[in-house]
Amino acid sequence: MSNKKKKIVILTNHSYMLYRFRKELIEELMKNNEVILSMPFVGHHEDFMNMGLHCIETKMERRGINPFTDLSLMNFYKKMLKEEKPDLVITYSIKPNIYGGLMCSKLKIPFYANVQGLGTAFQTKGLAQFVTLLYKTAFKKVQTVFFENQVNADEFTSRKIIQPEKETVLNGAGINLEIYNYQPYPHNKPPRFLYLGRIMKEKGMGELFEASEKLHNDGEKFILDLVGFFEDEYKEKVDRLVEKGIVEFHGFQEEPRPYYAKADCVVMPSYHEGMSNVNLEASATGRPVITTNIPGCRESVEDGITGWLCESKNADNLYEKMKMFLNTNITTREEMGKKARKKMEKEFDKNSIVKQTIAALDLN
């Protein structure tokens, strides 16, 4: 590595997600480079400032397409990049990827993009065509695109957004095995399932609630702990399940580790993920995971060994897997959790992912 420090600008739409999952990467980049963050000031911008980082407040509407606010974001990126003159730019999430990418191409600044899942944009036909066109234009001059699973990378190459040689597939952001250390397996009576994340349709909430009620009606004894924000459409349902004694609702929690430690099994019936961090955190803690057999979930769970894979959008199949867990003795559950931890150590160690990321960046 040369002695001259490189100036790296990171563009993201969410300081909370960046701090939760990319803090170690940023710390490593800071050792030999000047790092600047451009992001909305919600959540963890103060934590980044306390790390000694220069942070630039960036206003954006994270969801939806509004030509006026998006044009304003593009102009902001153009002005900011001209002032900062970075040696390279790293982008996270769809709007920084597209609008940041377009401006980097225009200003001839090398940039590296991160696609952390395809979300709903590629599920709707008309929108998928539009987003494909935007990505194609923005990624014409991208150095490499980091993906969190191979299926997402294949989607981009089959749509001819990028050439295969421009893809770099990593095991998500990895998991910090020191922060998420192994926790002794609990002996809860009744057993506790944990769902941690946003309580919304695309995370499989309809299926999870239906499967849980069916188990309850079977006379199965268990508790479903819900940790996260819920969207209004689920308020009545959650309240009813709490009244029935099926659910305990804890709201959003800044610190998820005590909930993983307390759980017997973690359930993540999501419809789409880049790489489910919940699955990684649960597995590192030593808990079996029930999750959907989709890209971004199945990579971290070995069916019947470290947990169970179920069909996406299938409440009956999820019910069967949850029942299978309840019928598994505690020694086997504990053994599955230990194997899950070993899988994280072998394949998902954050130190290894950080090294792979930095090796793919041209920092020489």
* 122-136, 196-210, 298-312: least confidently modelled range: 122-136
Residue-range definition of the domain harbouring residue 225:
192-347
| Residues 134 and 60 grouped into a single domain | yes
Q: Tell me the per-residue pLDDT of 251-263, one tens digit each, with 9 for 90 and over.
A: 999 899 999 999 9
| Residues 91 and 208 grouped into a single domain | no
| Residues 146 and 217 grouped into a single domain | no
| Residues 245 and 313 grouped into a single domain | yes
Domains contained in the chain, number: 2
Q: How confident is the model at residue 47 (pLDDT cuts 50, 70, 90)?
A: confident
In the chain, pLDDT over 90 holds for what percent of residues? Answer: 77
Whether residue 179 lies inside any domain: the answer is: no
Short-list 306, 331, 308, 329, CA closest to 320: 308
- Per the CB < 8 A criterion, the answer to whether 228 and 252 are in contact is yes
Q: How confident is the model at residue 1 (pLDDT cuts 50, 70, 90)?
A: very low
Whether residue 187 lies inside any domain: the answer is: no
| Residues 254 and 113 grouped into a single domain | no
Whether residue 181 lies inside any domain: the answer is: no
Whether residue 183 lies inside any domain: the answer is: no
| Residues 166 and 51 grouped into a single domain | yes
| Residues 43 and 84 grouped into a single domain | yes
pLDDT at 80 over 90: yes
| Residues 14 and 97 grouped into a single domain | yes
CA–CA separation, 98 and 290 (whole Å): 34
At residue 15, the pLDDT reads: 85
What value does the mean pLDDT take over residues 19-40? 94
Whether residue 1 lies inside any domain: the answer is: no
| Residues 121 and 39 grouped into a single domain | yes
Whether residue 182 lies inside any domain: the answer is: no
Q: CA–CA distance from 172 to each of 145, 251, 295, 352, 356 (Å)?
A: 13, 26, 11, 11, 11
Q: How confident is the model at residue 313 (pLDDT cuts 50, 70, 90)?
A: very high
Whether residue 222 lies inside any domain: the answer is: yes
CA–CA separation, 108 and 34 (whole Å): 19
CA–CA separation, 251 and 198 (whole Å): 10
Whether residue 136 lies inside any domain: the answer is: yes
At residue 181, the pLDDT reads: 97
Widest Cα–Cα separation across the chain: 67
| Residues 333 and 355 grouped into a single domain | no
SS3 27: helix
Give the global pTM.
0.89
Q: To the nearest whole number, what is the mean pLDDT of the chain?
A: 92
The count of other CB atoms within 10 Å of the CB of residue 327 is: 8
pLDDT at 44 over 90: no
pLDDT at 68 over 70: no
pLDDT at 109 over 80: yes
349 DSSP assignment? B
Q: How confident is the model at residue 62 (pLDDT cuts 50, 70, 90)?
A: low
Q: How confident is the model at residue 65 (pLDDT cuts 50, 70, 90)?
A: low
At residue 55, the pLDDT reads: 93
Q: How confident is the model at residue 8 (pLDDT cuts 50, 70, 90)?
A: very high
Q: Tell me the per-residue pLDDT of 262-298, one tens digit each, with 9 for 90 and over.
A: 999 999 999 988 899 999 999 999 999 999 999 999 9
CATH number at 287 reads 3.40.50.2000
CA–CA separation, 297 and 280 (whole Å): 9
| Residues 43 and 54 grouped into a single domain | yes
| Residues 170 and 224 grouped into a single domain | no
